[in-house]
């Protein structure tokens, strides 16, 4: 009898199956080469980031971290907003968290929310190895619960918020983010294009439904102004929303 799969193994297998359904783009080799080119110049691999990806793979985490250039973009946005307080929703193995924590600086603080205990454990080890665990507060649990608990603590507002968890929750994560923000806070929402699936008719994809519900709420939200940016790169065709809270 084969051993029963752990929840993490089932999750990883499902993610792999989903990724394999995605279209093969004819320009993918060029996108990867260009990512390697600029990534090599502007975000050269370093020991801690490379080790984090290796540890994630070793633990069977799905390889859905931001790319290194996307990590660098998060760091640039953190510097642009002079971010000292950063909130991340969706930690995975902490790859994006390392980028954010480094950009926040030694006096900065990153609060990152992760549901999956295995992901949280791997992330903690990766953050420790990167020397930034002291400036990261990893809260394990459902993001909706963690956000409610966090808001009840009435913390100082966050300067930058990165939403990158289950896409079905985007709208609620965005609403909580507004409560935890101040005028000028930047909010980034990952994976809003999904190979163009966002505009495909007749999809019952829960992630796509989540993105569309979020996009509608975003458009109707007077407290922010926002753009959506389509991206290609080593991890294919996707995109993100960048919003800023208005004065």
Judged by the rule CB under 6 A, the positions of this chain that interact with ligand DHB are: 15, 18, 64, 164, 190-191
* Closer of 96 and 171 to ligand SAH (Cβ): 96
State yes or no: residue 238 binds Mg ion (CB under 5 A). no
- 72 contacts ligand SAH (rule: CB under 6 A): no
DSSP string, 32-52: HHHHHHHHHHHS---HHHHHH
Count the neighbouring beta carbons within 10 Å of the beta carbon of residue 155. 13
Min CB(191)–Mg ion separation in Å: 5
Q: Coil, strand or helix: which one is 163?
A: strand
- The residue within the footprint of ligand SAH, chosen from 12, 86, 92, 181 (CB under 6 A), is 92
Alpha-carbon distance 40 to 228, whole Å?
26
Q: Give the shortest CB-222-to-ligand SAH separation in angstroms.
A: 27
Decide which of Mg ion, ligand SAH, ligand DHB, none touches 15; Cβ closer than 5 to 8 Å per partner kind: ligand DHB
Q: Give the residue with the Cβ less far from ligand DHB, 158 or 162.
A: 162
Residue 80 CB, shortest distance to ligand SAH, in Å, is 19
The 138-177 contact track toward ligand SAH, x by CB under 6 A, reads: ----xx--------------------xxx--x--------
How many angstroms separate the CA atoms of 104 and 160, rounded?
Answer: 10
Q: Which of 49, 66, 132, 208 binds ligand SAH (CB under 6 A)?
A: 66
Task: Give the number of other CB atoms < 10 A from CB of residue 125.
Answer: 16
Pairing of strands 236-245, 109-114: unpaired
6 exposure class (CB count in 10 Å sphere: 0-12, 13-18, 19+): exposed
- Chosen residue from 114, 159, 190, 207 binding Mg ion by CB under 5 A: 190
Between β-strands 236-245 and 186-190, what pairing exists: parallel, antiparallel or unpaired?
Answer: antiparallel
Contact between 238 and ligand SAH by CB under 6 A: the answer reads no
Q: Answer left, alpha or beta for residue 83, where phi above 0 means left and psi between -120 and 50 means alpha.
A: beta
Interface positions with ligand SAH (CB under 6 A): 64-66, 90-92, 95-96, 113-116, 119, 142-143, 164-166, 169
């Amino acid at each position: 009898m084969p051993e029963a799969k752990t929840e993490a193994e089932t999750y990883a297998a499902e993610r792999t199956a989903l990724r394999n359904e995605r279209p093969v783009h004819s320009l993918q080799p060029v996108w990867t080469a260009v990512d390697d080119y600029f990534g090599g110049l502007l975000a050269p691999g370093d020991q801690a980031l490379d080790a984090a990806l290796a540890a994630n793979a070793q633990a069977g985490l799905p390889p859905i971290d931001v790319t290194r250039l996307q990590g660098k973009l998060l760091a640039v946005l953190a510097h642009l907003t002079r971010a000292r307080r950063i909130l991340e929703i969706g930690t995975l193995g902490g790859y994006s968290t390392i980028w954010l924590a480094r950009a926040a600086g030694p006096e900065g603080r990153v609060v990152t929310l992760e549901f999956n205990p295995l992901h949280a454990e791997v992330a903690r080890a990766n953050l420790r190895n990167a020397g930034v665990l002291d400036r990261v507060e990893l809260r394990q649990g459902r993001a909706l619960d963690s956000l409610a608990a966090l808001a009840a603590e009435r913390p100082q507002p966050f300067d930058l918020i990165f939403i990158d968890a289950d896409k079905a929750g985007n709208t609620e994560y965005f609403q909580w983010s507004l409560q935890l923000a101040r005028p000028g806070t930047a909010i980034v929402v990952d994976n809003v294009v999904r190979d163009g699936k966002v505009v495909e008719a007749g999809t019952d994809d829960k992630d796509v439904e989540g993105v569309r519900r979020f996009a509608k709420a975003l458009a109707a939200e007077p407290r922010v102004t926002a753009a959506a940016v389509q991206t290609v790169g080593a991890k294919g065709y996707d995109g993100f929303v960048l919003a800023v809270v208005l004065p």
